[in-house]
Amino acid sequence: MRQIFLLAFFFFGVLFTSTAQSSRQKPITRAEFLRLMQTIAAGLNENNGRKAADCFALDAIYSEPPNKQIYRGRDRIFEFFGGWKGRPKVTQMVWHHLAFDEQTQTGSGEFSLNYGSTTHGMVSIRIRDGLIGNWREYSYQSALDWNGFILQNPF
């Protein structure tokens, strides 16, 4: 009887482990990362906070260090992106120089954002289960367009 119990325990343990591992999403590719980032920009540009926020994991962290802003969870990020009412002003976001390491599932990109005033910045991102788990943003407000902003060091 004990042997049957151990055999059943082993069988169900292997079955459970295999099922749990197969239900995990595989790492994303560079092309999928680029699509995810373009979806965020499109959502913001369309004033569609849901479209942009759905690129984030349910428990994602969106921050601008050290303590300028921090939003925990997709629902809070959705609210930050305008929620159901949308943002009162038009947002225009453009990505520059997106990069992604498939092995570590981390990426980065420079961006320009206009929301009444122009901001240029950089973001570091960690992907988890196909969505953004962590977003760490650094930004600089400037009256210059992108080309003027990078004038001394273009590439």
Q: Is this structure's pTM higher than 0.85?
A: no
pLDDT of residue 12: 45
Beta bridge partners of 128: 131
Residue 100 bridge partners (DSSP): 107
Domains in the chain, please, with CATH?
28-149 (3.10.450.50)
What was the pLDDT predicted at 24? 57
- Give the single-character DSSP code of 153: S
pLDDT above 60 (res 136): yes
**Is the pLDDT assigned to residue 149 strictly greater than 80?**
yes
Residues 8-65 have pLDDT tens digits of 444 445 444 444 443 457 899 999 999 999 999 999 999 999 999 999 999 999 999 9
Q: For residue 131, is pLDDT > 90?
A: yes
| pLDDT tens digits, 57-116 | 999 999 999 888 999 999 999 999 999 999 998 899 999 999 999 999 999 999 999 999
SS3 155: coil
Cα–Cα nearest to 121, from 139, 97, 144? 139
Residue 9's pLDDT is 46
